């Protein structure tokens, strides 16, 4: 077999030969082809990911494990991660999305954590296109169909529409779980002489080499790759969750790894390499659901709902008993041994024999050439004077609110069970989602964020802004960010300009993470997101998790009361560059504002104090759609109007629709105005109006009944 | 009052309902695995929880209705013991023919999760005795198959005997089509058997049992059961 057919580059093939001291056989070649694919090896981005800060006072487990863990205090941890399932969702939207949700849940489970909530990041094309509607409907139903049945609530997410996702939609699934810190299960703790056990569904031909499929561009050719798509079974996953957690409770599991991309080979070689042991696996003992499967097919199958367990032999019978209770297949199919040799036997024959550390760790890294796009500056030099003020302000606001990315997502999230497990304090439809921790007063807050437009205009600033807005959202709600997980969705790194954008985004994100002391604890990279129609916009997604010390210290959004004074905190000169307002006019241009670490940090501390001292009734960080969208959303959610004005000489459209910078809109009861002003003294803070009545108006701009805003925003 | 919550493979609201009952009433709540053949001897209330028993494969509730424990559950109900089915539990009760009718896919053919207003139609049963007749309460729904149906003549009988306990309604108590989330006959959200001891409903009272999570009308529901039990009801 030609190494190129296995997906290997020549240098990679040479490296394998050098380490082995011989030619790899076909099974080994196929295994290495998948394990050294971009999806499994991170060969193009490993060195970039090192730029992210990943240490912090709350970090218990950082990158390199199935998920990151942050300390919630009193011996409890939150395990979380976001992962892409873009290529499968483009080809088979329902199953692609469903198995994306299932996969990330198993990542959390692999640490021994109970998955308690999911968020979904959805990036769809032009909603007017029939194809987008088909893809979007399939993906949304897949997320719900799996999440609802498996009993993990989908409590929020992010939905973005842009034509760049027409043929290459993105599905990023985030999951968070809870785990007592002294019960964390590691993939590094196997010792020689232990049993290697496969728990869960039978292994079939579904999803063979899916990881390799995710490492090339989508083409008409590989859209026919349906056998690469895995089929999800949330019922089996629910049983798997309960069985694994029961085994963990009884301390039966030495080490555990979920089977995602590259199935058995990836999970077992990872445990072997990280634990510093070898393995002998008998593939004829793997429960199969297809006939005549070859060893390489068994190795690479991505059949869903399977876990790899390492178990001390004397406790095997207890493991089998729990598996039997939950009616799951459970087979001992190998053992751990001294050394580094990873051997696959099939009916007594040696099918493959490789050093465990070679498989996952030693793929040669690739440093793609990087080139700053020549047209970058040209897109920044737009003159705001070229943008006419709206002729009809009411229409301008309504069309902004009904633009797909800003409009209500109720028609999506009402298909998700957002409440099961009884922890959802703030569910979908809010900037931040919150979970209670039963028996405690503290809350977990989380948010999923992305701004592909700003990232495309200025990748460094856009990357920083993506992190910053998630941290601001949390701070306004009363939560201090403890850590984040990221999913880097980008097109091919082989185009120098695209690689430069990836680099700059990562640098921007890293700078913001460092400034906020918000480490990256886990993440995922998805490259080659392009189709014959073109490449996607750079789309780094962050899932940021924060902690609110007590339920008293939260500040809700959308809870204006009649007579509240509305304050704008933050600079009055935002940018129309990359704003939703300009985008809704079909203009992706201008330059986003730079990231100002000092102002951002100052904002966070003040926002946290504002929430904990109950200085406001309601607060919302200003992001997409600017102050105007913040006013409208607060007003609609509260069911209360407002009369506001533009009290500064800034151009009215820039003031109302501009974006960027650490800004928020607060509704403050008259009696708390002095306290509020004290908290924000020394930071830009101006009153912009009063809440009350049935209409939202800004002097000299729009004036609309709240009911009308709602109708347009909800689009129904 | 001792409560037994039956756990089927795929149940996912079992822990939730146990939590809500224990938190509200402080009484003993036990989980019973579906393969058991007997309920704990001192069981007063049996709850079939929500979720996706057996993955909702074949037909919602059809396989669970044939689980070993269901003989004991049916016997408990037929003896006059308190038996409650929530969401998937309601589907299991109709599949077991312990309650009349059937639950079909929602008329939108989509899963729907959202808070719903319900009008309490019947308060002369242990489940709702602490509500007032016509009261409007809020419990969330989360289901794909909640369209309650039964033949016209049986529907008439059900209505006439006051078997309808909860009806989907608007915030001001009007049971009009607009506030019917799934297309159920006569906006029916929950029904009780003739004996008044077996109740099935699609909305989730356990999700409305804590003000922190957005509502506490469910507590009145649990308190009703407890008070009825203490009065020596069943």
| E-state strands within A47-153 | 59-61, 68-73, 76-84, 114-124
Q: Is the pLDDT of residue A696 over 80?
A: yes
Q: Is the pLDDT of residue A374 over 90?
A: yes
How much is the mean pLDDT over chain B? 96
Task: Tell me which of A94, A138, A148, A433 to substitute to probe the interface with B (most B C-beta atoms closer than 10 Å).
Answer: A148
* Residue B74 near residue B44, CB atoms below 8 Å: no
Smallest Cα–Cα separation from A486: which of A44, A52, A43? A52
Whole-angstrom Cα distance, residue B56 to residue A305?
17
CA distances from A708 to A465, A619, A697, B169 (A): 32, 23, 12, 24
Q: In residues, how long is chain A?
A: 716
User: Residue A325: exposed, middle, or buried by beta-carbon count in 10 A (0-12, 13-18, 19+)?
Assistant: middle
| pLDDT for the residue numbered A225 | 46
Q: What percent of chain A has pLDDT over 70?
A: 97
| pLDDT for the residue numbered A75 | 96
| pLDDT for the residue numbered A220 | 57
Query: Least CA distance to B140: which residue of chain A?
Result: A419
Task: Tell me which of B58, B111, B141 to substitute to probe the interface with A (most A C-beta atoms closer than 10 Å).
Answer: B111
Q: What is the mean pLDDT of residues A6-10?
A: 90
Give the 3-state secondary structure of residue A102: helix
Task: Tell me which of B18, B55, B181 to substitute to probe the interface with A (most A C-beta atoms closer than 10 Å).
Answer: B55
Residues 6+ apart with CB under 8 A from A427: A153, A155, A156, A413, A418, A419, A433
Q: What is the mean pLDDT of residues A481-500?
A: 97
Closest CB to A419 among B56, B111, B142: B142
Tokens of A430: 């809010």
CATH number at residue B42: 3.40.50.880
Binned at pLDDT 50, 70 and 90, residue B234 comes out as very low
Whole-angstrom Cα distance, residue B226 to residue B25?
7
Total CB pairs under 8 A between chain A and B: 79
Tell me whether residues B111 and A234 touch, CB distance under 8 A. no
Judge whether A367 counts as a catalytic residue. no
From its phi and psi, is residue A468 left (phi > 0), alpha (psi between -120 and 50) or beta? alpha
Q: Which domains does chain A have, with CATH numbers?
A: 47-86+122-180+424-550 (3.30.1330.10), 185-365 (3.90.650.10), 374-421+555-716 (3.90.650.10)
Q: Is the pLDDT of residue A264 over 60?
A: yes
Instruction: Give the ipTM.
Output: 0.97
- State the catalytic residue, choosing from A47, A85, A87, A617: A85
Query: Least CA distance to B53: which residue of chain A?
Result: A235
Tell me whether residues B56 and A149 touch, CB distance under 8 A. yes
Smallest Cα–Cα separation from A63: which of A72, A53, A71? A53
Alpha helices in A565-681 (DSSP H): 580-583, 597-612, 626-638, 652-657, 673-679
Smallest Cα–Cα separation from A704: which of A715, A693, A689, A716? A693
- pLDDT 10s digits, B6-62: 999 999 999 999 999 999 999 999 999 999 999 999 999 999 999 999 999 999 999
Q: What is the DSSP letter of A202?
A: P
- pLDDT 10s digits, B162-190: 999 999 999 999 999 999 999 999 999 99
- pLDDT 10s digits, A533-553: 899 999 999 999 999 999 999
- Torsion angle in degrees (nearest 10) through CA of A494, A497, A501, A507: 90
Q: What is the mean pLDDT of residues A162-191?
A: 96
Within 10 angstroms of residue B36's Cβ, the number of other Cβ atoms is: 15
| pLDDT for the residue numbered A213 | 59
Tell me whether residues B113 and A417 touch, CB distance under 8 A. yes
From its phi and psi, is residue B162 left (phi > 0), alpha (psi between -120 and 50) or beta? left
| pLDDT for the residue numbered A210 | 62
Whole-angstrom Cα distance, residue B232 to residue B226?
10
Whole-angstrom Cα distance, residue A171 to residue A153?
17
Domain of residue B75 covers 3-230
Tell me whether residues A235 and B114 touch, CB distance under 8 A. no
| pLDDT for the residue numbered A639 | 97
* Residue A211 near residue A261, CB atoms below 8 Å: yes
Q: What percent of chain B has pLDDT over 70?
A: 99
* Residue A547 near residue A442, CB atoms below 8 Å: yes
Closest CB to B142 among A239, A327, A417: A417
Distance in Å, alpha carbon of A419 to nearest chain B alpha carbon = 7
- pLDDT 10s digits, A638-686: 999 999 999 999 899 999 999 999 999 999 999 999 999 999 999 999 9
| pLDDT for the residue numbered A209 | 60
Query: Least CA distance to B109: which residue of chain A?
Result: A415
Tell me whether residues B142 and A239 touch, CB distance under 8 A. no
User: Residue A337: exposed, middle, or buried by beta-carbon count in 10 A (0-12, 13-18, 19+)?
Assistant: middle
Tell me whether residues B16 and A421 touch, CB distance under 8 A. yes
- pLDDT 10s digits, A404-459: 999 999 999 999 999 999 999 999 999 999 999 999 999 999 999 999 999 999 99
Whole-angstrom Cα distance, residue A114 to residue A108?
7
Within 10 angstroms of residue B227's Cβ, the number of other Cβ atoms is: 14
Question: What is the number of structural domains in chain B?
Answer: 1
Task: Tell me which of A422, A438, A556 to substitute to probe the interface with B (most B C-beta atoms closer than 10 Å).
Answer: A422
| Residues linked to residue B176 through DSSP beta bridges, in sequence order | none
pTM (two decimals): 0.96
Closest CB to A415 among B57, B110, B206: B110
Q: What is the mean pLDDT of residues A236-263?
A: 95
Q: What is the mean pLDDT of residues A126-133?
A: 96
Distance in Å, alpha carbon of A292 to nearest chain B alpha carbon = 28
Q: What is the mean pLDDT of residues B118-131?
A: 97
Strand order in the sheet with A695-698: A618-621, A664-668, A565-569, A685-691, A642-644, A695-698, A703-705
Residues 6+ apart with CB under 8 A from A408: A429, A713, A714, A715
Alpha helices in A517-623 (DSSP H): 580-583, 597-612
* Residue A262 near residue A40, CB atoms below 8 Å: yes
Q: What percent of chain A has pLDDT over 90?
A: 88
Which chain A residues touch B if contact means CB-CB below 8 Å?
141, 144-145, 148-151, 233-236, 238-239, 325-327, 414-425, 436, 438, 551
From its phi and psi, is residue B58 left (phi > 0), alpha (psi between -120 and 50) or beta? left
How much is the mean pLDDT over chain A? 94
Q: What is the mean pLDDT of residues A137-164?
A: 97
CA distances from B68 to A518, B33, B37, B42 (A): 52, 10, 6, 19
Instruction: Tell me the chain B residues in contact with residue A419 when contact means C-beta distances shorter than 8 Å.
Output: 113, 140, 142, 204, 207, 213
User: Residue A479: exposed, middle, or buried by beta-carbon count in 10 A (0-12, 13-18, 19+)?
Assistant: buried
Binned at pLDDT 50, 70 and 90, residue B199 comes out as very high
Mind telling me the catalytic residues of B? Answer: 87, 204, 206
Q: Which of A221-230, A387-396, A571-580 has the lowest mean pLDDT?
A: A221-230
Binned at pLDDT 50, 70 and 90, residue A360 comes out as confident
Closest CB to B51 among A151, A422, A423: A151
Instruction: Tell me the chain B residues in contact with residue A94 when contact means C-beta distances shorter than 8 Å.
Output: none
Tell me whether residues A420 and B12 touch, CB distance under 8 A. yes
Which chain B residues touch A if contact means CB-CB below 8 Å?
9-10, 12-13, 15-16, 19-20, 33, 51-52, 54-57, 110-114, 140, 142, 144, 204, 206-207, 210, 212-213
Residue A96: alpha-carbon gap to chain centroid: 16
Whole-angstrom Cα distance, residue A182 to residue A164?
45
| pLDDT for the residue numbered A386 | 86
Query: Least CA distance to A435: which residue of chain B?
Result: B213
| pLDDT for the residue numbered A260 | 82
Q: Which of A174-188, A225-239, A457-471, A582-596 has the lowest mean pLDDT?
A: A225-239
Task: Tell me which of A419, A425, A441 to substitute to probe the interface with B (most B C-beta atoms closer than 10 Å).
Answer: A419
Closest CB to B111 among A235, A327, A415: A415
Whole-angstrom Cα distance, residue A178 to residue A109?
10
| pLDDT for the residue numbered A226 | 45
Tell me whether residues B10 and A235 touch, CB distance under 8 A. yes
Tokens of B138: 């809020």
Closest CB to B19 among A145, A325, A422: A422
Binned at pLDDT 50, 70 and 90, residue A64 comes out as confident
Instruction: Give the angle subtended at the CA of A382 by the CAs of A381 and A387, to the nearest 5°.
Output: 170
- pLDDT 10s digits, A296-324: 999 999 999 999 999 999 999 999 999 99
Distance in Å, alpha carbon of B124 to nearest chain A alpha carbon = 29
Tell me whether residues B207 and A422 touch, CB distance under 8 A. yes
Q: Is the pLDDT of residue A211 over 80?
A: no
Query: Least CA distance to B206: which residue of chain A?
Result: A422
């Amino acid at each position: 077999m030609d190494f190129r057919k296995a997906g290997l580059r020549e240098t990679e093939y040479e490296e394998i030969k050098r380490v082995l001291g011989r030619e790899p056989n076909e099974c080994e070649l196929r295994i290495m082809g998948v394990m050294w694919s971009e999806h499994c090896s991170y060969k193009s981005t490993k060195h970039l990911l090192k730029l992210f800060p990943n240490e912090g006072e709350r970090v218990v487990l950082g990158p390199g494990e199935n998920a990151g863990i942050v300390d919630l205090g009193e011996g409890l941890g939150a395990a979380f991660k976001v992962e892409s399932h873009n290529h499968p969702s483009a080809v088979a939207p329902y199953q692609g999305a469903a198995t994306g949700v299932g996969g990330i849940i198993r990542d959390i489970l692999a640490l021994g954590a109970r998955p308690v909530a999911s968020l979904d990041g959805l990036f769809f094309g032009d909603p007017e296109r029939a194809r987008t509607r088909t893809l979007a409907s399939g993906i949304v139903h897949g997320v719900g169909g799996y999440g609802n049945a498996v009993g993990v609530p989908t409590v929020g997410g992010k939905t973005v529409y842009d034509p760049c996702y027409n043929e290459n939609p993105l599905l990023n699934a985030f999951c968070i779980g809870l785990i007592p810190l002294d019960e964390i299960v590691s993939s590094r703790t196997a010792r020689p002489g232990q049993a290697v056990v496969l728990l869960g569904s039978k292994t079939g031909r579904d999803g063979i080499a899916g990881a390799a499929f995710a490492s090339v561009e989508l083409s008409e050719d590989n859209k026919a790759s349906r056998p690469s798509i895995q089929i999800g079974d949330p019922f089996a996953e629910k049983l798997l969750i309960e069985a694994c957690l029961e085994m963990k409770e009884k301390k039966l599991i030495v080490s555990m790894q979920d089977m995602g991309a590259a199935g058995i080979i990836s999970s077992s070689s990872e445990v072997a390499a990280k634990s510093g042991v070898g393995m002998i696996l008998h593939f004829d003992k793997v429960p199969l659901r297809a006939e005549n499967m070859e060893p390489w097919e068994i190795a690479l199958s991505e059949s869903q709902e399977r876990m790899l367990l390492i178990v001390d032999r004397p406790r095997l019978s207890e493991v089998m008993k729990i598996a039997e209770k939950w009616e799951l297949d459970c087979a001992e199919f190998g053992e751990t041994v001294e050394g580094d040799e990873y051997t696959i036997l099939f009916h007594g024959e040696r099918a493959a024999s490789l050093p465990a550390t070679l498989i996952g760790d030693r793929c040669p890294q690739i440093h793609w050439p990087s080139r700053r796009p020549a047209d970058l500056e040209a897109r920044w030099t737009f003159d705001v004077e070229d943008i006419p003020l709206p002729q009809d302000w009411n229409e301008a606001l309504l069309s902004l609110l009904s633009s797909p990315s800003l409009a209500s997502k109720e028609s999506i999230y009402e298909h998700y069970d957002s409440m099961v497990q009884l922890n959802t304090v703030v569910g979908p439809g809010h900037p931040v989602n919150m979970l209670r921790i039963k028996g405690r007063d503290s809350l977990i807050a989380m948010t999923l964020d992305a701004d592909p437009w700003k990232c495309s205009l200025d990748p460094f600033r856009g990357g920083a802004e993506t992190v910053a807005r998630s941290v601001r959202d949390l701070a306004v709600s009363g939560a201090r960010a403890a850590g984040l997980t990221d999913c880097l969705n980008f097109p091919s790194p082989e185009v120098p300009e695209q690689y430069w954008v990836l680099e700059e985004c990562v640098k921007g994100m890293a700078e913001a993470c460092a400034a906020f002391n918000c480490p990256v604890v886990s993440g995922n990279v998805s490259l080659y997101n392009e189709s014959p129609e073109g490449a996607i916009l750079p789309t780094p997604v962050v899932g940021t998790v924060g902690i609110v010390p007590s339920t008293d210290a939260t500040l809700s959004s959308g809870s204006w009361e009649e007579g509240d004074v509305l304050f704008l905190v933050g600079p009055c000169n935002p940018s129309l560059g990359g704003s939703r307002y300009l985008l809704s006019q079909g203009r992706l241009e201008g330059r986003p504002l730079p990231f100002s670490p000092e102002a951002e940090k100052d904002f966070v501390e003040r926002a946290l104090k504002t929430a904990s001292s109950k200085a406001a009734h309601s607060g919302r960080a200003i992001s997409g759609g600017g102050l105007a969208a913040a006013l409208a959303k607060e007003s609609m959610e509260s069911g209360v109007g407002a009369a506001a004005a533009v009290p500064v000489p800034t151009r009215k459209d820039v003031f109302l629709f501009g974006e960027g910078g650490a800004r928020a809109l607060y509704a403050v009861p008259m009696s708390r105005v002095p306290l509020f002003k004290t908290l924000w003294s020394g930071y830009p803070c101006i009153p912009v109006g009063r809440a009350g009545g049935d209409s939202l108006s800004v002097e000299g701009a729009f004036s609309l009944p709240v009911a009308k805003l709602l109708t347009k925003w909800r689009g129904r | 009052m001792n409560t037994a919550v039956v756990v089927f493979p795929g149940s996912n609201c079992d822990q939730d309902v146990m939590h809500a009952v224990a938190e509200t009433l402080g009484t003993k709540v036990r989980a019973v695995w579906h393969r058991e053949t007997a309920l704990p001897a001192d069981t007063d209330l049996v709850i079939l929880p929500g979720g996706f028993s057996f993955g909702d494969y074949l037909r919602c509730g059809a396989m669970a209705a044939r689980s070993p424990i269901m003989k004991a559950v049916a016997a408990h109900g037929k003896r006059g013991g308190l038996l409650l089915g929530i969401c998937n539990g309601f589907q299991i009760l109709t599949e077991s023919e312990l309650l009349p009718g059937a639950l079909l896919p929602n008329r939108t053919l989509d899963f729907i999760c959202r808070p719903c207003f319900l009008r309490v139609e019947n308060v002369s049963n242990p489940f709702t005795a602490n509500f007032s007749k016509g009261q409007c309460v809020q419990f969330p729904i989360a289901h794909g198959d909640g369209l309650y149906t039964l033949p016209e003549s049986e529907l008439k009988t059900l209505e006439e005997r006051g078997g309808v306990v909860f009806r989907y309604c608007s915030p001001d108590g009007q049971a009009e089509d607009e506030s019917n989330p799934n297309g159920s006959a006569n906006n029916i959200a929950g029904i009780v058997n003739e004996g008044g001891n077996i109740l099935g409903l699609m909305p989730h009272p356990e999700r409305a049992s804590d003000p922190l999570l957005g509502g506490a009308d469910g507590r009145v529901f649990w308190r009703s059961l407890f008070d009825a039990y203490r009065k020596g009801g069943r």
